[in-house]
């Protein structure tokens, strides 16, 4: 399931965080690439142990914790601390698949990468190129979102970032381990949750809505790993 999540950050938050990013010292993005990815990765990255990365990452995680659509779709168990990248001057990232397991630097914590996320900090008209292109069973999906918006997609997807030929593309990227490992099961739970919420807006709670809510939680109880 590929899902665009609007307004993870407000425009004011984006402006504040961009000020930090634009003043930061960037390094070669291959510091977090595996062998396969390193052959096609050409971008810049904020050092993951920098004060700026930790500060901005904490702000992003706090915002996500308050975002109902994200919580419903992802059902997060563990989230890898957000990283930050920059593409400019023709830089790109060729076709690759994300590593299955990520160890949080400086800790014994390992995160199974069920879902990948890209949170945009640059507006689409600020740069040419830079589309995130995902390959799935329905063909290629091209994503280039407004600043503050995020895309959530299965980490099993082959994906790439097209060359940025004008301007600068700033973004955060990271991964999470969901309580429900199966993308198909997460999609069922998400669709059911969205339907229940929509029904509740149209009518007050009824026995049928209560029953459907029970079915949702019983499925989650069966499928969740905690």
Instruction: Detail the residues annotated as belonging to a binding site for 2-oxoglutarate.
Output: 169
**φ/ψ (deg, to 5) at 94:** -70, 180
Binding positions are 96, 98, 159, 169
Q: How far is CA 15 from CA 20, 21, 58, 111, 144, in A?
A: 9, 10, 16, 30, 18
Distance (Å, rounded) from C-alpha 91 to C-alpha 46?
A: 16
Q: Check if the beta carbon of residue 80 is closer than 8 Å to that of residue 110.
A: no
Q: Check if the beta carbon of residue 25 is closer than 8 Å to that of residue 51.
A: no
Distance (Å, rounded) from C-alpha 99 to C-alpha 115?
A: 11
Token reading at 148? 């503050």
Q: Check if the beta carbon of residue 144 is closer than 8 Å to that of residue 169.
A: no
Distance (Å, rounded) from C-alpha 117 to C-alpha 4?
A: 10
Name every residue whose Cβ is closer than 8 Å to that of residue 190 and which is 6 or more positions away in sequence: 1, 3, 72, 73
Q: Check if the beta carbon of residue 162 is closer than 8 Å to that of residue 129.
A: yes
Binding positions for Fe cation are 96, 98, 159
């Amino acid at each position: 399931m590929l899902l665009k999540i609007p307004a993870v950050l407000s425009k004011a938050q984006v402006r504040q965080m961009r000020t930090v990013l634009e003043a930061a010292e960037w390094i070669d993005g291959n510091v977090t690439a595996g062998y396969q990815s390193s052959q096609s990765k050409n971008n810049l990255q904020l050092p993951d142990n920098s004060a700026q990365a930790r500060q901005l990452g904490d702000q992003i995680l706090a915002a996500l914790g308050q975002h109902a659509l994200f919580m419903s779709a992802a059902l997060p168990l563990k989230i890898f601390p957000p990283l930050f990248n920059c593409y400019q001057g023709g830089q790109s990232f060729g076709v690759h698949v994300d590593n299955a397991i990520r160890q949080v630097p400086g800790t014994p914590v390992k995160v199974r990468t069920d879902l990948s996320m890209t949170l945009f900090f640059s507006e689409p008209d600020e740069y040419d190129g830079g589309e995130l292109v995902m390959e799935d069973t329905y063909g290629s999906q091209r994503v280039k979102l407004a600043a503050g918006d995020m895309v959530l997609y299965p980490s099993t997807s082959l994906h790439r970032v097209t060359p940025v030929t004008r301007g600068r593309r700033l973004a955060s990227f990271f991964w999470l381990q969901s309580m429900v490992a199966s993308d198909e099961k997460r999609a069922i739970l998400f669709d059911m949750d969205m339907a229940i919420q929509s029904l509740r807006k149209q009518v007050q709670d009824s026995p049928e809505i209560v029953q459907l809510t029970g079915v949702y939680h019983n499925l989650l109880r069966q499928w969740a790993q905690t």
